[in-house]
Homo-oligomer: A and B are copies of this chain.
Amino acid sequence: MARTTIDHVAAAAGVSIKTVSRDLNEEPGVRGETRTKVREAIARLSYRPSLPARSLAGRRSSLLGLIYENPSASYVFDVQDGAMARCRDAGLRLFIQSCNGLGDRLVEEVLAMVEQTHVDGLIVTPPLSARADLIAALEAKGVPTIRLAPDVLEGGPPAIVMDDEAAARAMTEHLVDLGHRRIGFVAGHPGHPSSRLRIDGWRAALADAGLEEGPVEQGYNDLASGLAAGQRLLAAAERPTAIFASNDDMAAGVVQAAHQAGLAVPGRLSVAGFDDSQIAAIVWPPLTTIRQPSRDMAFAAAGLLIDLVRGQEVPGVTELPFALVARGSTAAPAAS
């Protein structure tokens, strides 16, 4: 029950607590011999410094925060994993907070969390990274912040992004290259940062190819809305030969709609998604999609935040590359 403290270590090593502290924090000015003694005592007593005591005494808590709201389980999982890995490398801890269901108390609750836990800085994931009120409040409080995939890049805290528009364009070009001329689109949730960029990319690619704009249906980033959108798209008189959905969940819905309509995928209909979430590899046929490097982005975000907290300069925008993953759900259109 009795905690091992820095005093015990100091006594065991025959030095003062300050010397132990210096070693712990890798401060200079400790003789090699002394350092060895201290290290040995630390190991022998298996001493672990108390984080609360540190954050109380010092100006740092060795704790970073990460907040999320709602996105898919796999996205949250990847992001957590990446950020935690980076923190572990740096000997820091990550405090994760869900903001689901906070409604209009969001800003207040986040500030409360930051104050109570003393996190040194915060990683804000989408769609929270698009909440201007939140970001403004954090800046006003002086909380070091990194935005993950925000909607607006100019101004605001440093951001980590992927080029959604270029990715959507690449996917559309992939479909065009396969020979598709009538390519429908299922738009993403209107409140989501990347939705606009993705539809813009689709439009741009069609324009570049000299093709007419295909039919668009609104979705809400979940399977059900993708299914409904797919049904509407497929019921039209002039059916598209390919449908590009703004995320994988909706693309899975479109695949279901095709199954229901008795249309073979990709024989009669090609379907493309976005995100390369778990689902993409699980539906049949597996989805051609865009791999968003969620884990890498979070890893990088944590790295930037660490720099930021240490007072170093960090770039305003860091862009990570995407990849087009071609799988079974897209093919050349049926010769008609």
Contact = CB atoms under 8 A, between A and B. Distances in A.
A237 interface: no
A3 B118 CA distance: 10
A interface, over-half SS: helix
Contacts of A51: 52, 116-118
A100 B77 CA distance: 12
A115 interface: yes
Contact of A77 (B73, B281, B282): B73
A90 to B, nearest CB: 14
A116 B50 contact: yes
Contact of A252 (B48, B78, B282): B282
A228 interface: no
A279 B280 CA distance: 10
A83 to B, nearest CB: 10
Interface string A38-49: 000000000011
Interface residues of A, number: 45
B223 A281 contact: yes
Contacts of A335: none
Interface stretch (A91-99, A125-133, A158-166): A91-99
A259 B282 CA distance: 12
A255 B278 contact: no
B53 A81 contact: no
Contacts of A3: 115
Interface in A94-123: 95-98, 100, 112-113, 115-118
A51 B78 CA distance: 28
A61 interface: yes
B98 A116 contact: no
A278 B282 CA distance: 11
Interface in A255-312: 255-256, 259, 278-279, 281-284
A80 interface: yes
A118 B50 contact: yes
B116 A49 contact: yes
Interface string A17-51: 00000000000000000000000000000001111
A259 B81 CA distance: 33
Given A76-B73, A282-B223, A48 B100 contact: no
A279 B281 CA distance: 10
Contact of A283 (B61, B76, B283): B283
A56 interface: yes
21 contacts: A48-B112, A48-B115, A48-B116, A51-B52, A51-B117, A51-B118, A52-B52, A52-B56, A73-B74, A73-B76, A73-B77, A77-B77, A80-B96, A96-B96, A223-B281, A249-B282, A252-B282, A256-B284, A278-B279, A282-B282, A282-B283
Given A48-B112, A48-B116, A52-B118, 19 more contacts: A3-B115, A48-B115, A49-B116, A51-B52, A51-B117, A51-B118, A52-B61, A73-B74, A73-B78, A77-B77, A80-B96, A80-B98, A84-B97, A93-B113, A93-B116, A93-B117, A95-B95, A279-B279, A279-B282
